[in-house]
Structure 1
């Protein structure tokens, strides 16, 4: 039988599934490899249709009691989960940094505290907002209620695996649903630690389940399972198409976040220091951020100065081991993804683009480290300008006036986010209204309240989550109307 636990950065991690409140082993395993040095961390249980069936059955069995629990009691359990996450921020940070290569300082200061917030916020929100007061309609009482939908399947990506999973798990559980989570095979370990935290917090058996495995072997049977009532997925457009076809016979509502090709619009009246800072910020997490504004569009009159300053600032980026607090960006998550990003850049260069920064692997570090790269002179319509690279690669293009800038920004099949930098308030209002994106940032980046809607237009996804929008998705909304007449008691 495979080994059941691994020591990762001094933290013991159980490598089995979590199903029905207990650990479940599989005969088969898959290798989990760290992007930092391509060292194998563990052989993780490889689930398939049998484990998915077990997990869905456990979730369905646990659903009636969890759904019937008063919302205040559910919320209190979820607050204990948040407490447990906060107590283990260091362990979670060290494991996830080793597992997916993201910066330890980001995990400690932002990502893992946000994981706790995902539970605490939606626990509080459920108590405050799920109960609507009765309304009076022509002498009748009308009541709107949010009934839990049932079993929620959640499939999450590797770039921020725990944070993006709990962004969905929090509201799903707070609304009274049960959950089956399929973590990413490229960064599966913190999901197992979350199962431990759930158990310690008193989450009943079967309410939260984890099936480890690959997308083909574990994800496919989960998305097609007739026992699923909601399905939330973050990932690529092609995979979303496969999932849609698999889920269609079961008429399962879907929530998709599928990435983007977001623009950063820089106008001549901007604060140039701010614009440069925002441009260089896009290299965060080695560019493995769905919201990143990797298409930089700058007005011609300031293009030369802006470009020179961005290159100069980007040269100060420290690339290296993410466990070092001084590191700014680390490695690509896997060899396959590294080669994908390199392929995009090599094809762009062959097609006439020029690299004014980077352009290839960091030979000083070896492994999966790709240098921060800035490309100019890319041919309009080529793939580096239209496809999501998901790596530390920025392109810079110029525009003459506002109309051209907006047209270039909207010239994409994606519509997840957009950022603009301007010193003109009226322009900010006009352009933000004209941009085709689910989120628009004006003179800022990556700021969003958990109560605000999140999602994308076009190929960037389906639906919105956050605040009441999450509960709209994870519940069946019921309207009950009571006549004042006809009562016998």
Structure 2
């Protein structure tokens, strides 16, 4: 093996960038560790301004040919990428589990199949994408979706490949070239995606992968005047920096940011269902932007809900994410664990009561935690922890429940558990959220709009919304008469 490769559970991963159809090294590297046990996985090429410039140039050069490629051919290549993902599904799953600590069983059964589905869905949607012509005083209006140009896609570490391809697939389907900047805490499967895409016949320069830190590689990419679209998933503070950089070039942005989502449990709810949904919020060690981390429970059933929740949570197994029996794996990085513990300690110091958990278990593993006796304006209620930490508040009336649910600066998602259909309709109509689930959680369809309200984001993606963002939507108006030629 060369100095530019890492072997992860027998899988060879190139640690260099992928630019213009070639592997490109950098003078410096950064260390990628496994959250499972803290061991070093790889030394990753550390990109900066030079690599960003090279990637933009490659994307710019590749764009015209890919943009002019027929829809049918673009769809064929995307399906070929999906085929490649499925052939290497087990390898992708084990590499990602080692890299970000999420459950191997989830990667095998849900996440990596969804990666392939991302490509297939947008390939198929592309072939059906149309808007019916319409008439204006006898003139014909024809709507079309023109590829926008080179796109910068910056993705998070909690579901690296799935969230990357949720952006890459529609951007490529739309006819754009792409520069993907994966999170520095989990970069490995992005490198494997580059190999898969090249093997599927995607032309050189259409997909580029630049690794590195946001302040270096990311900053150089989002501020580049030749970038036509920027899509980012991550934190609000980073999004503000990206938006400032994009503003100089008026580059359109799609931002999917933090969440502090509520789970509302009414007195008429099926409590077993409510408890199941609440405990599910510990999935991926709480590192899920959509997680309903604020449990809002009718006071009349709060004691019984808490008892059942505590019993259910006690049955969770925390440990090595490669073990089939594990329910909760590690948090991704020592910095993240320290951040989580800081939130909990400050909440307890401010008067919160610990129902379960409240401390690290070992190394990067934080115990599933539930805090109660928390004020609505407290930090633990208002700020995103991004760890296995839930709060429980009670309410007396429907209006109070809605006020509590809407009482943060976020608006990504909400979950409502009730046995009353009319109540569900009243409540969901008043909730500020991009997605609302009623008596269910995390049911997702790529044809549905996805995004956040307030500081949870800007824009919507999925189905036509993705193509609206990744394209310049054009209307052509043609006169009914007057086709005359001279010559």
Question: If the TM-score is normalised by the length of the shorter chain, which range does it land in?
Answer: over 0.9
* Alignment partner, residue 201 of structure 1: 200
Q: Trace 1:386-401 onto structure 2 (pairs within 5 A).
A: 386-401=382-397
Distance, in Å, in 2 between the alignment partners of 1:7 and 1:459 is 40
Cα offsets for 1:199-238 (capped at 9, x unmatched): 0100000000000111111111011111100000000000
- SS of the residue corresponding to residue 143 of structure 2 reads strand
Within 5 A, what are the aligned runs for 1:24-39? Answer: 24-39=24-39
**Match runs of 1:15-414 below 5 Å:** 15-129=15-129, 131-362=130-361, 366-414=362-410
Q: 1:424 to 1:133 in 2, by over 3 A?
A: closer
Question: Could you tell me how far apart the structure 1 residues matched to 2:435 and 2:266 are?
Answer: 19
Residues in 2 aligned to 1:483 and 1:14: alpha-carbon distance in whole angstroms: 56
Q: Number of residues paired by the alignment?
A: 484
1:463-474 paired onto structure 2 within 5 Å: 463-474=459-470
Distance 1:416 1:349 in 2: 26
Q: Residue 354 of structure 1: CA displacement?
A: 1.1
**TM-superposed deviation, 1:133:** 4.0
| Equivalent in the alignment of 2:452 | 456
Distance 1:193 1:37 in 2: 23
Shift of 1:3: 1.7
> Deviation at 1:479?
0.7
Q: How far apart, CA to CA, are the structure 2 residues paired with 1:377 and 1:115?
A: 40
| SS of equivalent residue, structure 1 residue 251 | coil
Distance in structure 2 (CA, Å) of the matches to 1:370 and 1:448: 28
- Any gaps of 5 or more consecutive residues in structure 1? none
Cα distance in 2 for residues equivalent to 1:136 and 1:379: 57
Deviations 1:177-199 (A, max 9, x none): 00000000000000000000000
After TM superposition, the runs of 4+ consecutive aligned structure 1 residues lying more than 6 A away are: none
SS at match of 2:416: strand
Deviation at 1:132, TM superposition (A): 3.2
Kindly provide the CA deviation profile for residues 130-162 of structure 1, in whole angstroms up to 9, marking residues without a partner as x. x33433332222211100100110000000010
* Contact persistence 1:92–1:112 (CA under 8 A): yes
RMSD between aligned residues: 0.9
TM-score normalised by L of structure 1: 0.98
Distance 1:209 1:311 in 2: 47
Distance 2:318 2:132 in 1: 55
Q: Is the 8 A contact 2:366 2:388 kept in 1?
A: yes
- 8 A contact 2:343–2:385 mirrored in 1: yes
Q: Deviations over 1:246-300 (max 9, x none)?
A: 1111000000000210000000000111001000000000000000000000001
What's the secondary structure of 2:365's corresponding residue? coil
Q: Which ranges in structure 2 are unaligned for 5 or more consecutive residues?
A: none
Report the Cα distance in structure 2 between the residues aligned to 1:134 and 1:384, rounded to whole angstroms. 52
What is the distance in 2 between the residues matched to 1:325 and 1:154?
A: 33
Instruction: Confirm or deny: 8 A CA contact 1:93 1:108 kept in the other structure.
Output: yes
State the SS of the aligned residue for 1:415.
coil
Distance 1:486 1:190 in 2: 56
Measure the CA separation in 2 of the matches of 1:485 and 1:356.
Answer: 76
SS at match of 2:440: coil
Check conservation: 1:351, 1:379, Cα contact below 8 A: no
Equivalent-residue separation in structure 2 for 1:25 and 1:298 (angstroms) = 53
CA distance in 2, matches of 1:358, 1:484: 71
- Distance in 1 between the 2:88 and 2:75 partners? 20
Task: State the SS of the aligned residue for 1:273.
Answer: helix
- With normalisation by structure 2, the TM-score equals 0.98
Aligned partners of 1:380 and 1:258: how far apart in 2? 21
**Residue 376 of structure 2 contacts residue 404 of structure 2 at CA under 8 Å; is this kept in 1?**
no
Aligned partners of 1:317 and 1:329 also within 8 Å:
yes
Q: Is the 8 A contact 1:223 1:246 kept in 2?
A: yes
Q: Separation in 2 of the partners of 1:464 and 1:132?
A: 19
* 1:432 corresponds to which of 425, 428, 431: 428
Task: Tell me whether 135-144 or 372-381 shows the greater mean CA deviation.
Answer: 135-144
Distance 1:381 1:136 in 2: 53
Q: How far apart are the structure 2 equivalents of 1:380 and 1:443?
A: 24
